[in-house]
Copies of this chain bind each other. A is one copy, B any other.
Amino acid sequence: MKLLEDKILECGELREGGILKVDSFLNHQIDISLMQEIGKELASLFAGKGINKILTIEASGIGIACIAAQYFDNAPVVFAKKTESLNLSGDVYSTDIHSYTKNKDYTARIDKKYLTKGDKVLIIDDFLANGEAAMGLMRLVSMAGAETAGVGICIEKAFQKGGDMIRSKGTELHSLAIVDVKDDGTISFLQK
């Protein structure tokens, strides 16, 4: 998606260790007009899949998922919770996920009421790197007897394994920008 690639080139900041900071428009400050275009693009890519629910994980995926849901006939958004809240009942699907960004494990939980057999779920997230979060969400969908109709990602890191891992499972994955970083620190984009 050229608009997103251009935005990454214009506003993204590359840090040591291949960390791409895009918090001026994606995951700290959010550019709403850009999210609308991302939502339209995802709706076009996953058209005809019968998607009736959008699934993401707190926190950065929520805004993108909510804006995008508008282009899927206002499908409800469910976000998996990362911490044990006093308000979340015990009747949940849960799975452990490793965060490389925060360098720790956490448990992702979804109340069983909000993910059910027959749901055709589109998983949306801001980043795909090692694929831990997306794979964790796919496990939660499976536990519910629901179907992962696809995975829609804003930025995939080509130099990390998550994207190819998900593709190799036969899951339909669309990453709107697949970022590669050369040794000299320049950013380029791949198509997969």
Where the two chains meet, the residues of A that have a C-beta atom closer than 8 Å to any C-beta of B are 15, 19, 21, 23-24, 27-33, 35-36, 58-59, 62-63, 65-67, 69-70, 74-79, 81, 83, 85-89, 101-103, 110-111, 113-114
A15, A59, A74, A77 pick with most chain B CB within 10 angstroms: A59
Copies of this chain in its oligomeric complex: 2
**A111 interface neighbour in B15, B23, B114, Cβ under 8 Å:** B23
B86 touches A102 (CB 8 A): yes
B101 touches A30 (CB 8 A): no
CB distance from A80 to the nearest CB of B (A): 9
B69 touches A24 (CB 8 A): no
**A32 interface neighbour in B75, B81, B113, Cβ under 8 Å:** B75
B111 touches A28 (CB 8 A): yes
Assembly CA distance A58 to B21 (angstroms)? 18
A88 touches B30 (CB 8 A): no
Assembly CA distance A81 to B30 (angstroms)? 13
Give the residues in chain B near A63, CB-CB below 8 Å. 62-63, 65-66, 77, 79
CB distance from A111 to the nearest CB of B (A): 6
B30 touches A79 (CB 8 A): yes
Assembly CA distance A74 to B35 (angstroms)? 10
A29 touches B62 (CB 8 A): no
Assembly CA distance A76 to B25 (angstroms)? 8
